[in-house]
Amino acid sequence: MMIQQITQRLSEVNTLVATCNQDGFSFGPALSLSLFYRDFNDTNSLVKEAGNLARENPARLLECSISLLSETDGYLSADRSGLYAADFERIFEEHLKPFELRHEDAKSAATRLWRDYSAKSNRLDFLPLESVEYRLLDKECDAAKAEYDNAHTLVNLLYQEWQQERERCFCVYCFKPLFLDVLVERLKGIAGSIIADINRLQETSAWMDTVDLALCLFIYEVCNDCQFEFASGSDFVNFMNLKPTSRPVAVRPKENLRVCYMVLAVSRTIRPHERGKLWAEEFLKRCGISKSYYDKHRSDVCSGGTTEENREYRKSVDRAIENARKLRTSP
């Protein structure tokens, strides 16, 4: 599917942007960026495919769109100063220079061989046809002509290679970072629209769980009336899946640290990984826990200096996840 291809390629673009901000842009990364823009700037094709997939498999389309949205956010929030500092025209010309030089060297060599052959051929015109000198020079002329023909063939071959490479990577010469920015912004808008349209138009998708029922209930056994104020099983499952609840579900005082570990552990079970990250961000908002606090403390219960109570809690959460996995994979 195109949406999967775009997401995978954009993930690679994000890696290149992060890496090349430190090391500068060489031809390989520059080509990858420009090819991404070249291959996917026709966003109408993506929209048409999404329309068909919305009818055939809306759940799959939603999953892919969430992943694409995550990658677009990653690109647009990244430091792209290195990208804007790169001179793509210069990168293009430097890459082609060896091709040009090989052609010019071969052309110079062929020219020398032609002059040698021409000189020998001209001398023949002044020699008697029956002379020994003529016969010897005639053989030399034939050999010189053959050598020139081979050199001329090489010149043509190297010229074709040069021009083919120029055509293959001409997108680097034309590329501008602004083009990529605009494309990614449009992809973000399309992904967001797809998600909104599916959530609005596909009523059954509202009941699809991000965290499966078994895992929710195993976590419920660990956390209900401990890390969270008492809630019914149904409300807790809905709460875990970011759905409306009949009564508010609240984090108990001084339990943010442990809730953070639970969120981290559960998010790692969600596929694709980007969807798990999005779920964690939205769940934290529901819990009233800031992203900065979560990023700083989510692994604290795993540290060597943590309390025995925290260690037991961590084991309980890990066991809940393992139990859900076993239940899911049992015959």
The residue ranges of the chain whose pLDDT is under 50 are 201-207, 330-331
The domain limits of the chain are: 2-87+173-205, 91-172, 213-329
Q: What is the pLDDT of residue 146?
A: 95
* C-alpha to C-alpha distances, 314 to 178, 265, 296, 311, 320, nearest whole angstrom: 47, 9, 17, 5, 10
The model's pLDDT over 253-275, given as tens digits with 9 standing for 90+, comes to 999 999 999 999 999 999 888 88
Q: What is the pLDDT of residue 21?
A: 67
Strand ranges (DSSP E) for the chain? Answer: none
Q: What is the pLDDT of residue 255?
A: 96
Q: What is the pLDDT of residue 160?
A: 97
Count of beta carbons in the 10 Å neighbourhood of residue 81: 10
Non-local CB neighbours of 327 within 8 Å, separated by 6+ positions: 214
Q: Could you check whether the bond before residue 244 is cis, i.e. omega within 30 degrees of 0?
A: no
* C-alpha to C-alpha distances, 196 to 81, 170, 171, nearest whole angstrom: 32, 38, 34
The model's pLDDT over 27-50, given as tens digits with 9 standing for 90+, comes to 999 999 999 988 888 787 888 888
pTM of the model: 0.56
Judging by beta carbons within 10 Å of its beta carbon (0-12, 13-18, 19+), is residue 126 exposed, middle or buried?
exposed
The values of phi and psi at residue 228, to 5°, are -120, 150
Q: What is the pLDDT of residue 23?
A: 64
